[in-house]
Structure 1
Amino acid sequence: MTPDELLTKKDLERFKTELFELLKPMVEGGRLVQQKWLRSKDVRDMLGVSHGTLMNFRISGALKFKKVGGIFFYAADDIQKMLSNPEKKSPNRKG
């Protein structure tokens, strides 16, 4: 090994500082910035619903979406609203 291949504690501390500086713009108010758009699998996992239920949400208009090619995208804000209001999670539920 040559001396320029050795890592010192100081090198690692400098790397950590540089990494935090790069990540700082991605952090907002102490939380990582949330993705604006989510794919179907992510939404199904978050809501704990099946593929068919998610499709019913789209068809009934309970959940807005955008389709790009063959991929459905959902606004993260809409999913958050649905999670914070569980009564609306199942739009066909009676009573």
Structure 2
Amino acid sequence: MNDMITKEDLRQFGLELLGNIGTLMTQTKEVQGEIVDQEWIKSKQVRTLMNMSPGSVQNLRVTQKIRFKKILGSYYYNKVDLLKLFTDERCK
């Protein structure tokens, strides 16, 4: 059980790690870019942005903690309400 880690192993790990971080940053920018200019956000975007399950988003709607609209079977949530709710929750 004498595994040696070489400089080449560390270099490869570093390159792989940087690649993964770059991919995550690009995905995050794409999601946030879609949401920045919108007042109302679709359920899927809310779940992605806030890292929430569909049930958690539904719970916010049912308990009327955030405003929502239902248009042609899709739910849209008010971005300002979401940001305010989660900013208030962090302060507690």
Which TM-score band (shorter chain)? 0.5 to 0.7
Instruction: Identify the residue that residue 25 of structure 1 maps to in structure 2.
Output: none
Q: Quick one: which amino acid aligns to residue 82 of structure 1?
A: L
Count of residues paired in the alignment? 56
Are 1:46 and 2:49 counterparts?
yes
Structure 1 residue 55 displacement after superposition:
0.7
Instruction: Identify the residue that residue 68 of structure 1 maps to in structure 2.
Output: 71
- Structure 1 unpaired stretches of 5+: 1-32, 89-95
Structure 1 residue 87 displacement after superposition:
5.1
User: Cα RMSD (Å) of the superposition?
Assistant: 1.9
Task: Select 2:37's aligned residue among 31, 34, 37.
Answer: 34
Residues 39-84 of structure 1: CA deviation (Å, up to 9, x unaligned): 0011112222100111111111112200001000111111111231
- Which one has the largest radius of gyration? 1
- Structure 2 unpaired stretches of 5+: 1-35
Q: How many angstroms apart in 2 are the aligned matches of 1:86 and 1:45?
A: 18
Q: Return the TM-score normalized by structure 1.
A: 0.52
Q: How many angstroms apart in 1 are the aligned matches of 2:37 and 2:48?
A: 16
Q: Quick one: which amino acid aligns to residue 43 of structure 1?
A: V
SS in structure 2 at match of 1:85: helix
Structure 1: which 4+ aligned runs deviate by more than 3 Å? none
Task: Select 1:58's aligned residue among 49, 52, 61.
Answer: 61
